[in-house]
Structure 1
Amino acid sequence: MAQVASSIKPRDRSKVLNANRQAKMAQSAHAYVRGNTLQFYEWLKKDSAKSIPEGPPVWICGDCHVGNIGPLSDSDGKIEIQIRDLDQTVVGNPAHDLVRLALSLATAARGSDLPGVTVVKMMEQMVEGYERALVAPNTTIKANSDDLAPIRNVLEQSRRRRWHHLAEERIEDVKPQIPLGKRFWMLEEQERVAMDELFRDETVVAKILAFKGRRPGSKVSVVDAAYWMKGCSSLGRLRFAVLLSIGKKADRTHCLIDLKEATCAAAPKVEMTIRNDAERVVTGASNLSPNLGQRMLAVPLLGKNLVMRELMPQDLKFDLDRLTQQEAMAAARYLAGIVGKAHGRQMNRKTRQSWLAKLEKQHSKSLDARNWLWSSVVSLIADHEAAYLEHCRRYASSS
């Protein structure tokens, strides 16, 4: 088992983070796919990936799997389902997001013990959902059908959530303190000093006070901060949780900030005029997921570039590990539509039409899914399944 962190010191972080990452990736083939973006992009360099069409260069997610799509609140409290993790975002080929999502959906279906024919039908529904959203990227995609109940339930839960839900979930209590333990670890002295300096910065304070209901000029103070063990593929980077107080004692409120180190993206990209990786993540989020992008800011900390975002109680992710065949097909169509909207908003009408025509070229008479997408998924599943089993062998030997 992965080591449980009761009181992890800064010098021990790397060892514990690596052990937890290996354990998470050994949980299932789907978890392995989610946690191993690098293997996906290594596969793209192979001859088997040469059939993937080259789409117009737009901002893409770069790590477009099921867990990276979900309800997101903007700074005014408006909720929309968008892409929720942009660590790998680049200006690149939109087809790469489609293939990555298809692989994630296929492994999720296999994890739900659904037959292979369901995967075929999911790929067909994916293509239809993506192309429809690409035609009309400003149209709202509704989750009204019974087959979309797993998605609709998460969206309804998101709309009901308030600050106390986030506090109880993330910091275990509404008490203004981050409890050290399994997820939150002690800071070094220089880290704590850097936090205090960061949240005195005028640009940072202005971003925090821009949220609905907050008065300009209110005092922002650091109440508590800790190193945060969170995620899977991002384990090993600097990541901090910061609890802030806003305003004076009589009307004081709190908010929780996520600070995550931005590192070089693995996704193939075209040339971008971006100063650093934190700016890349924020710019990509602003283009793909406006609800998230408007809450983010690129900040320097301890000689590294980090992305700051305020966590909102409405931010949730989908857990689609147990689906019926009809639910899996509907989810594939819906989630691909969300990606189609994110891509399509960045294209003018002529570019969208050209991209759609290119996507149609390899349409098989016996399969509604595109040949290039289906062959890519088959190759990727084989590639990742073998790697997953080898990962489990190594993990079992070292545990």
Structure 2
Amino acid sequence: MSIPLTHADRHALGVRARKQLARSAHAHFDLSACPQAPLDLLRDSMRGRIARLVQVKYERMVASAFGFFRGAVPIMAADLACHPNTGITTQLCGDAHVNNLGAYAGFDGRIVFDINDFDETIHGPFEWDVKRMATSLLLAGREAGIRRAARQEAVATFTERYRRSMSEFSVMPVLEIARYQIHRLGHIDPIPAILETAERSTPQRLLVKLTEPARPGTKAAVKNATASRRFRSEPPLLERLGPKEAQTVLDALTPYVRTLQPERRHFLAQYGAVDVAFKVVGTGSVGQRDYCVYFEGWSRAESTDPLFLQIKEEAASAYAPYLPEDASGHTHQGHRVVDGQRALQLTSDPFLGYTSIEGRDYLVRQLNDHKASLDLLTLDAVGLQGYADLCGELLARGHARAGDPVAISAYLGNSDRFDRAILAFAHSYADKTEHDWGLLKKSFKKTK
């Protein structure tokens, strides 16, 4: 076991990083330094995806500038890598934006609000997450029709909260950082509405949404399954699998179970698989293979006890080509996501794990168990401000848990120099995003 650096050493490391990249330099975004054409990067990211669904991904990205931003992580990863970085690394969310924070159920039944999407997670420069989140706040504000001054104020609030929270974490005992909870959620608009939605988002509601009564004579996809409901078939977004394909997916649950803690294996063993479907999810993930398994619990004789597990294909992080080979820490991409999620989240899905199917890597988790996220259509200036404040604290907590809060805080310092630079970057990158979105819309029209 290596001897850890002292607090003074870690502080000095952060201050020295300012010589590598001055805090004010984060404002600089030079488009000419990024030689790769954005649509070429996007097309390259489609390799290996299901061809018939690539059109669906483009349709979702064309719908709005924010939708484009959600699906364009490969473009931003390349753009960030074209510019200098601090060299101060942590576990990145990788796709830090306002809709990738959300509510979900913890193992103890409480509704948790935290970072909640980790497909792109990897060890990299901490400021890459900060820049992506700040840009997303501007784009979300533009989409919601919020005035420019309020959008700028939201980004300033986000960066200030991130900086001040990191300063607090830099002097906390290790276990206090690991256990740190935010107790003011109920007082931050629009979080109460999100939490109320999450309370209603139960497996029973998902059962009604995704399944239908099995018609007489319906062929079961799962051998010996006797439940009275089956997945709906609504192609291309939801399609039931036939028995052979379903069995291939179910066979992958055996190695998955070994990635769970023993008591959670016990709980899962009390459910029986009923049906399997292919499901399209999100924006960035469209075109990758995504399966959903419907289980019923055996503990209740007369009422349903549904459980839905999502088996989601994971490719390498979009940041991987621009970082050292050991940045991900894993060769299995599902394992990479699991470890990144556990490092950043305070509480993770109790059924979080990973597996492989026919040579491809997959993440396994519950599908939509009490999940809810921000609705941009209901967002106003007050809500954006409160949400931005929370984004800063949650992102700082994740980075502090998984990285070195002393070095990051020492780099940031006590002034607003870094904050102002990030705001300038976010303006430049939001404008660039809207320009790239325009290019995609033109290209999309030509191909239709």
TM class by smaller structure: 0.7 to 0.9
Which residue matches 1:250?
A: 301
Which residue matches 1:39?
A: 75
Q: CA deviation at 1:195?
A: 2.3
Q: Does 1:354 align with 2:396?
A: no
Q: Does 1:106 align with 2:138?
A: yes
Which is further off, 303-312 or 190-199?
190-199
Instruction: Note closer, same or farther for the CA distance 1:114–1:278 as it changes in structure 2 (3 Å cut).
Output: same
Structure 2 gap ranges (5+) = 1-48, 170-176, 214-226
Aligned residues: 371
Query: Out of 385, 388, 400, which is 1:329 matched to?
Result: 385
Quote the Cα distance in structure 1 between the aligned partners of 2:391 and 2:267. Answer: 38
Q: CA deviation at 1:382?
A: 2.2
Per-residue deviation, residues 73-106 of structure 1 (Å, max 9, x unmatched):
1233222111111100011112111111111111
Quote the Cα distance in structure 2 between the aligned partners of 1:160 and 1:217. Answer: 23
Q: CA deviation at 1:292?
A: 2.8
- Scaled by the length of structure 2, what TM-score is found? 0.75
Quote the Cα distance in structure 1 between the aligned partners of 2:259 and 2:414. Answer: 49
Q: CA deviation at 1:210?
A: 4.2
Instruction: Note closer, same or farther for the CA distance 1:210–1:184 as it changes in structure 2 (3 Å cut).
Output: farther
Q: What one-letter code is carried by the residue in structure 2 that aligns with 1:223?
A: V
Counterparts of residues 53-64 of structure 1 (less than 5 Å): 53-55=86-88, 57-64=89-96
Per-residue deviation, residues 133-168 of structure 1 (Å, max 9, x unmatched):
3324414242344xx332221113323443212223
Q: What one-letter code is carried by the residue in structure 2 that aligns with 1:372?
A: A
Q: What one-letter code is carried by the residue in structure 2 that aligns with 1:73?
A: A
Q: What one-letter code is carried by the residue in structure 2 that aligns with 1:385?
A: E
Quote the Cα distance in structure 1 between the aligned partners of 2:234 and 2:399. Answer: 40
Instruction: Note closer, same or farther for the CA distance 1:310–1:322 as it changes in structure 2 (3 Å cut).
Output: closer
User: Percent identity over the alignment?
Assistant: 20
Q: What one-letter code is carried by the residue in structure 1 that aligns with 2:105?
A: S
Q: What one-letter code is carried by the residue in structure 2 that aligns with 1:262?
A: E
Counterparts of residues 66-81 of structure 1 (less than 5 Å): 66-81=98-113
Q: Compare CA radii of gyration and give the structure with the larger one.
A: 2
Secondary structure in structure 1 of the residue aligned to 2:274: strand
Quote the Cα distance in structure 1 between the aligned partners of 2:112 and 2:299. Answer: 32
Which residue matches 2:199?
A: 159
Query: Out of 124, 142, 160, which is 1:128 matched to?
Result: 160
Quote the Cα distance in structure 1 between the aligned partners of 2:259 and 2:138. Answer: 43
Instruction: Note closer, same or farther for the CA distance 1:163–1:217 as it changes in structure 2 (3 Å cut).
Output: closer
Q: What one-letter code is carried by the residue in structure 1 that aligns with 2:423?
A: W
Q: Contact (CA 8 Å) 1:71, 1:158: kept in 2 or not?
A: yes
Q: CA deviation at 1:114?
A: 1.9
Q: CA deviation at 1:240?
A: 0.5
Instruction: Note closer, same or farther for the CA distance 1:76–1:166 as it changes in structure 2 (3 Å cut).
Output: farther
Q: CA deviation at 1:224?
A: 0.6
Structure 1 gap ranges (5+) = 1-12
Which residue matches 1:299?
A: 355
Q: Contact (CA 8 Å) 1:72, 1:79: kept in 2 or not?
A: yes
Quote the Cα distance in structure 2 between the aligned partners of 1:91 and 1:172. Answer: 43
Counterparts of residues 139-150 of structure 1 (less than 5 Å): 139-145=181-187, 148-150=188-190
Per-residue deviation, residues 318-372 of structure 1 (Å, max 9, x unmatched):
223442222211111112211111111234xxx42331121137734xxxx6243
Which residue matches 1:277?
A: 333
Q: What one-letter code is carried by the residue in structure 1 that aligns with 2:333?
A: D
Which residue matches 1:4?
A: none
Q: What one-letter code is carried by the residue in structure 2 that aligns with 1:140?
A: I
Which is further off, 288-297 or 94-103?
288-297
Q: CA deviation at 1:117?
A: 1.8
- Scaled by the length of structure 1, what TM-score is found? 0.84
Pairwise CA RMSD: 2.8
Q: CA deviation at 1:226?
A: 1.1
Per-residue deviation, residues 17-67 of structure 1 (Å, max 9, x unmatched):
111111111111111111111111121133xx43x5443x22110001111
Q: What one-letter code is carried by the residue in structure 1 that aligns with 2:62?
A: A
Quote the Cα distance in structure 1 between the aligned partners of 2:282 and 2:379. Answer: 23
Secondary structure in structure 2 of the residue aligned to 1:391: helix
Query: Out of 280, 287, 299, which is 1:236 matched to?
Result: 287
Q: What one-letter code is carried by the residue in structure 1 that aligns with 2:410?
A: A
Quote the Cα distance in structure 1 between the aligned partners of 2:136 and 2:268. Answer: 45
Query: Out of 376, 381, 385, which is 2:425 matched to?
Result: 376
Counterparts of residues 204-215 of structure 1 (less than 5 Å): 204=257, 207=260, 210=263
Instruction: Note closer, same or farther for the CA distance 1:186–1:28 as it changes in structure 2 (3 Å cut).
Output: same
Q: What one-letter code is carried by the residue in structure 2 that aligns with 1:61?
A: C
Q: What one-letter code is carried by the residue in structure 1 that aligns with 2:308?
A: L
Q: Does 1:195 align with 2:249?
A: yes
Quote the Cα distance in structure 1 between the aligned partners of 2:414 and 2:266. Answer: 54
